[in-house]
Structure 1
Amino acid sequence: MYKVLLLGEFSSLHNYLKQGLLACGDVEVTLASNGDGYKRIGGADMPLPECSSKSLFRRLLYYYNYLKAINKLKGFDIVQIINPSVIPYIIGKRVVQKLKNNNSKIFLVSGGIDYALVKAYLEGKFDYYVFDAMPEVVPSYSTKSFIGRLRVGYENYLTATVDKVIPILYEYSIGYKTEAISSVVPVPINVTKLEYSENIPGDKIVFFHGLNDERKKGTKYIKEALERLKRNYPEDVEVIIDGKMPFDEYVKVLSRTNIVIDQCMCYGYGINACISMAQGKVVMASARPETLQAFGVESSPIIHIKPDVDYIYEKLERIVINRAMIPEWGRLSRKYVEDIHDMNRIADMYMHIWKNS
């Protein structure tokens, strides 16, 4: 029996991976997580301590409780850390040492903001990126500050200690040295639990863009392009731009949506786009050739967009002109996630990397 510890959560990635691993058989999986903060994602077998207080006493108590929890995590064949930020950087090196001493192999998923990503951005490896809209993130990794040196020192130590870094997208791979990383492994989703519905527009094509993490998504570009589309095709389109709605209402809106506009500031797409595609939605998101090549595919049904209003508008207008293709695009979306993102396939990919590293 293979014993696996998944440490931390990131948009349900570890939750879906756990489900896929358990379906493989002969694997015992423990997910230690606080539910990815405010998202409160379920599926954890063991809670991780968390602290949002700035009180020195509460922070010290948090570090003590975190180390106490880590001390219990022993005897695993595999420990996989979802992102450096799941471990408090103040005690980061000590936590990593304990995990390394008490378990067999350690792996790090690269799937969010970390020093390697910021470094790649500063080295000019992106034509555009989310840090263009969020420049305040970059200085937090500057070695000119004491906190920055602590954070960077911890992340460099973590990268040097793990057996492999596993990127989930092309963009998360380019900041690391080649020998430190595995091949890119797509995000997993539980496709079978997501009901597919044929995507047939009514009198109007319904476009939806959710308002959360607006700068990160490039909402200002998407919103302007959608508003232009609405002005030019008032009888053909319905545009919904909202994010401050109850979950039940969100589900209703999504159920009648034909086109989901996710985000345009990155090079790749995430789990939200995959979930929409599994339901038969046409998704507009970042899907550059580098991203698809890293997945081993030449094309995808995702309509690629970038932070350029005219570029996004052109893609939106093309959908209106070719509305008869929407049902077929929806079917191709479902097939794509079945082929590329199915959690059982992804679990096999992780097992192969773990066993051969």
Structure 2
Amino acid sequence: MKVLLVGEFSRLHNSLKEGLQELGHEVYILGHQDGFKNYPVDFPIEKKWDSGFLKKIKITVNAIFGFDISSYLTYLQFKKNKSKFTGFDVVQLINENSFYCQYYFEKKILDFLFQNNSKTYLLSSGYDYLNVEYCFENPNYKSGIQGYLAGRINPKRFGNVLKFRTSSFKKLHQFIYSNIVGIIASDIDYHIPLLNNSKYSGLIPNPINTAKIDFQPLTISNKIIIFHGINKANYFKKGNDYFEKALRTIEQKYSRKVEIITTRDIPYSTYINIYNKAHILLDQTYANDQGYNALEAMAKGKVVFTGAEKEFTEHYNLTERVCINALPDVDYLVHELSFLIENPNEIIAIANRARTFIEKEHDYIKIAEQYFEVWNSKTTSY
């Protein structure tokens, strides 16, 4: 099978590609390299006019004429190489705005992909029209939108989420929805909003290539090391402010027992290695399940504060903790961190279970097989 994976912002598509290649498939990734994370991409697209003085000009032009220069330049890059993006058995979009373009140019790119390849699937692995609609209609559903509704997130910093509520992105959703064969969710956060959707093909967990992630059994001989990696663009969406407040208390309470490492906007290759010596990693507070960063840390044998709600534990039939369910509650986070610091044997036990869980439920080859089964199960409807 010849597969084109469109978009990459978490290493999901890279790990899926590696799994599919192990199964003998021909796989390519098309998309942006996601800024500072710099994930490998076979056909890279550069997002131009996106910083400095040129960005100011772009914003002014867009405000006056409604024309986005970055979108136009992305389209030109795609058009120049469009012959490379035909004849695939399966195209998979990582979300509903994989090229980060305005409606007009995103639609032109997608229309070409739809018309010149056999099947297209959509991943729900981040915010999209259906997910955002569900979260706003169900404000008690655990998501970053709760932080926005509580007034903790500035609308300007929430634009990449709020855009899915605009009329143009609703039109884009309808266009995509009418051309895809199915939608696949990457975890519980995206699974629940899609239940009962006629095109929902089911939940396939994030693939993790454990062959590339060394597991080092934890030992605690001195201080317990807590790692907090911050992506400033998602600071409030991930609940980093709650973590930072909790860490200040922990540092005062256990100054002789803990070492705290905080990083901000570092490249993926640096990020994934810098926390090797850590025992505990703080990921996010607004999730029901684990995202990609959390899963990779769990594969390394870290105790991760992330999403682990009841729906997650029931889905995987878990009776013991493989990570810590984080909440946007400073007192709760301090309590959970304190328990671990005072019970270091529990840190080691959870870390070992985390690695076992990843090997069982997220093995990249097993996950690639699940994708192949879904892609092979339906024929195109157009």
SS in structure 2 opposite 1:217?
Answer: coil
CA–CA separation in structure 2 for the residues paired with 1:179 and 1:124: 20
- Kindly provide the amino acid, as one letter, of the partner of residue 50 in structure 1: K
Deviates more, 1:49-58 or 1:173-182: 49-58
Give the drift of 1:266.
2.1
Q: Does 1:353 align with 2:365?
A: no
- Cα deviation for residue 91 of structure 1 reads 2.4
Residue type at the aligned position of 1:39: K
Q: Which segment is superposed worse, 86-95 or 270-279?
A: 86-95
Aligned to 1:105: 119
User: Which residue identity is paired with 1:290?
Assistant: E
1:322-345 Cα distance to aligned partner (Å, 9 max, x none): 112322222111111111111101
Report the TM-score when normalising by structure 1. Answer: 0.89
Distance change (3 Å), C-alpha of 1:178 and 1:9: same
Q: State the alpha-carbon separation in 2 of the partners of residues 233 and 106 from structure 1.
A: 52
Compute the RMSD of aligned alpha carbons. Answer: 2.4
Letter of the aligned partner of 2:259 in structure 1?
E
Change in Cα spacing, 1:224 to 1:73, as seen in structure 2 (3 Å) is same
Question: Which residue type is aligned with residue 205 of structure 1?
Answer: I
Report the equivalent of 2:206.
187
Report the counterpart of residue 27 of structure 2 in structure 1.
29
Q: Deviations over 1:198-219 (max 9, x none)?
A: 1111222111111223212211
Cα deviation, residue 63, structure 1: 2.4
Distance 2:73 2:7 in 1: 20
8 Å CA contact 1:224–1:309 kept in 2: the answer is yes
Q: Deviations over 1:127-171 (max 9, x none)?
A: 4421224362354334xxxxx211210112212321011111122
SS of the equivalent of 1:182 reads strand
Aligned to 1:330: 351
Shift of 1:243: 2.5
Cα distance, 1:304 vs structure 2: 0.7
State the partner residue of 1:222.
Answer: 243
Deviations 1:57-102 (A, max 9, x none): 6653432332443454111111111111113232233333322221
Q: What SS does the corresponding residue of 1:50 show, helix, strand or coil?
A: coil
Residue range with higher mean Cα deviation, 312-321 or 52-61: 52-61
**3-state SS of paired residue (1:174):** helix
Aligned-partner Cα distance in 1 for 2:81–2:198: 32
Distance in 2 separating the partners of 1:175 and 1:272: 22
Q: Distance in 2 between matches of 1:77 and 1:163?
A: 12
Tell me, in whole angstroms, the C-alpha distance in 2 between the residues paired with 1:120 and 1:72.
Answer: 36
For 1:307, the aligned partner's letter is P
1:324 & 1:297 partners in 2: Cα distance?
A: 20
Return 255-264 or 231-240, whichever deviates more: 231-240
May I ask how many residue pairs the two structures share in their alignment?
Answer: 349
1:108 & 1:13 partners in 2: Cα distance?
14
Distance 2:229 2:268 in 1: 12
* Corresponding residue number in structure 1 for 2:259: 238
Aligned counterpart for 1:150 among listed residues 165, 168, 175: 168
> Shift of the alpha carbon at 1:296?
6.1
Deviation string, structure 1 residues 251-304 (Cα, Å, up to 9, x no partner): 675122111111112222211111111111111111112234445656541111
2 CA distance for matches of 1:11 and 1:228?
Answer: 31
What's the secondary structure of 2:81's corresponding residue?
helix
| Aligned partner letter, 1:173 | H
1:93 corresponds in structure 2 to: 107
Amino acid at match of 2:14: N
* Structure 1 residue 126 displacement after superposition: 3.8
Deviations along 1:306-332, whole A, 9 cap, x unmatched? 101111112111112211232222211
| Alpha-carbon separation, structure 1, partners of 2:73 and 2:282 | 42
Hey, what does 2:284 align to over in structure 1? 263
Alignment check: 8 A CA contact 2:144 2:286 kept: yes
Return closer, same or farther for 1:18/1:219 CA change in 2, 3 Å cut-off. Answer: same
Q: Is 1:5 matched with 2:23? A: no
Question: Partner of 2:64 in structure 1?
Answer: none
Preserved CA contact (<8 Å) 1:204 1:235: yes
Match of 2:223 in 1: 204
Residue 36 of structure 1 and its aligned partner are, at CA, apart by: 2.6
Residue 175 in structure 1 maps to residue 214 in structure 2: no
Q: Structure 1 residues 59, 160: closer, same or farther in 2, change over 3 A?
A: closer
User: Percent sequence identity over matched residues?
Assistant: 31
The match for 1:161 is 179
* 1:46-125 superposed matches below 5 A: 46-48=43-45, 50-51=47-48, 52=50, 53=55, 54=58, 59-87=71-99, 88=101, 89-124=103-138
Runs (5+) with no aligned partner, structure 1:
143-147
2:47 maps to a residue whose letter is E
User: Greater CA deviation, 82-91 or 198-207?
Assistant: 82-91
Distance in 1 between residues matched to 2:70 and 2:282, nearest whole Å? 41
Asked whether the equivalents of residues 45 and 74 of structure 2 are also in contact (C-alpha less than 8 Å), the reply is no
- Which ranges in structure 2 are unaligned for 5 or more consecutive residues? 62-66
